Amino acid sequence: MSGIPGVTLRGMEALPVEVEAAITGGLFSVSIVGMPDVAVRESRERVRSALRSVGLNLKGRVSVNLAPADIPKEGALLDLPIALELMRAAGALKRCPRALYMGELALDGRLRRVRGAVPAAFLARKMKIPLFIPSENASEVSLVQGVEGYCADNLGELVMMLKGEEKPRPLPPAYIPDITAAPEPDFADIKGQLQAKRAAEISAAGHHNLLMVGSPGSGKTLIARAMAGILPPLTDDELVETLLVRSTLGMEIKASRERPFRVVHFTASTVSVCGGGADLRPGEVSLAHRGVLFLDEYTEFKRDLTESLRAPIEDGEITVSRAAGSVKYPSRVLLVLAANPCACGYAGDPVIPCKCSPAEIERYRRKLSGPIMDRIDLQLAVPRLTPEELLSIDGKGTPPEKSESIRKRVISARNIQIQRWKEHGYTCNAEIPESLVKRYLTLDDETRDYLAKMAMKMNFSGRGLTRVLKVARTIADLAGEEDIQRKHIAEAIIYRQVYNRR
């Protein structure tokens, strides 16, 4: 191919585009073939104006061809290769090294950050050619290993590099700081609620989905938010996966091993949560990939939204489709749900009486069942503390544990899991398939008998049993114990008693 390579995006995948141009005599006109009209118009104006900034006034009949013709293209990503190819066609640029060029041009020639620089870096690595990008995209691309990348602030600077009049500016070295301080709120600031805090710790350690049911003021929302501070750091692979999603959306990216923590309000649209729209962008469930997706006031969510979350929660990926095609995004999230126990909020409260009729309570509880509940490993009631309890906690006994020290336990439990499941391609207990549960989560005779007895008594389904086993494995990992023991099973069962006993 003789043109200049650029990229366009299909989901999180960058596809190569070849830009070719010819300039012939005649009245001035610019035609671009292979791109939608709107994008062409906008790109044409930006490129033409940016070229003036490097002293090139386009004259004559200019035609640009973007190949292959059959894939849709995004104008902004292609401004830079179009500009370079036009300079070449006009004789203003003699040599242009074989590389991927990507960037949106401002009218004054500045290079603006684009979405999709990380997918483009993957493509450049695969094609074994360098990548030229706007400086504003440099830090995110530097996090992708094995890429020869260069950046520039504006078209003029880049042209000097290509002409050899200036040294190519390599990307700054990647630097990913260790997680230091835990974000607010800290677990130490939350009074009482030892069992809910423990459930949050198990959830974070084994990536187990969590449901907390409690009255307003019980602290369930606070506990959910504090989970951000005890999650284990992202591994290298996980970091790159989250980078891909964020880069595809064009989000500002800071190098950090902190896991995503996304809060979704019940008024959110299905598209914003699951992804979609004209350009098939990822939604919150993919932005939360490898981190937490928190749905507060879960019973207020519309049924069709929770229904459409079922597949991504189950499969760890989501297919977003439109007439033009479909793309896949990752969605391996830790789902955290919080809900009131009834419509008025005070069923089971120690002080405030519940105003709901039994029928209303029954109708309400039905919202806490269904397909998503089947995927929740840990369910528990978080009762509001009585005034006496609140008073007795103050100033008495050992102070509550800080998030930082809980996180240390979580990290060592997760490291055990990463080692255990490495050869199977998993990183935590929650995500292993049934076949591995049977093979690896074995019990001695006495413990198995105990579990069988409890399963009978509590009417567990096969799925429910598997969940108890996985959670018990995580509890044993938190304790640093080799085998799953009776006490681990007994604790795991506590978290299956609330609403959906199956």
Interface contacts to Zn ion, rule CB under 5 A? 342, 344, 347, 354, 356
CA distance 414 to 422: 12
Which of these, 139, 110, 132, 118, lies nearest to 249 by C-alpha position? 118
- Kindly state the smallest distance separating residue 362's Cβ from Zn ion, in Å: 12
- Amino acid at position 135, single letter: S
- The token pair at 476 is 């044993």
If the CB atoms of residues 190 and 344 are measured against Zn ion, the closer one turns out to be 344
Minimum Å gap between C-beta 265 and Zn ion is 23
Query: Is-contact 250 114, C-beta < 8 A?
Result: yes
347 versus 471: smaller Cβ distance to Zn ion = 347
| Nearest of 110, 93, 92, 113 to residue 102 by alpha carbon | 113
249 vs 361 by CB, closer to Zn ion: 361
Q: Which is nearer to Zn ion, 320 or 347 (CB)?
A: 347
**Min. distance of Cβ 495 from Zn ion in angstroms?**
23
In the bound state with Zn ion, the residue whose beta carbon lies nearer, of 69 and 352, is 352
Least gap, CB of 227 to Zn ion (angstroms)? 27
Q: Is 164 helix (H, G, I), strand (E, B) or coil?
A: coil
Q: Which two three-digit tokens encode residue 497? A: 């008693």
Name residue 152's beta-bridge partners. Answer: 134
3-state helix, strand, coil in the chain (%, to 5): 45, 15, 40
Smallest separation (angstroms) from Zn ion to the CB of 497: 20
How far, rounded to the nearest angstrom, does the alpha carbon of residue 241 sit from its chain's CA centroid?
A: 8
Least distance (Å) from Zn ion to the CB of residue 351? 13
Nearest to 454, CA basis, from 499, 498, 491: 491
Q: Which two tokens stand for residue 98?
A: 């074989």
Helices (H), 3-74: 37-53
Minimum CB separation of residue 369 from Zn ion in Å reads: 18
Q: Which is nearer to Zn ion, 38 or 359 (CB)?
A: 359
**Choice between 340 and 429, CB closer to Zn ion:** 340
- Per DSSP, helices labelled H in 422-479 are 434-440, 445-458, 462-478
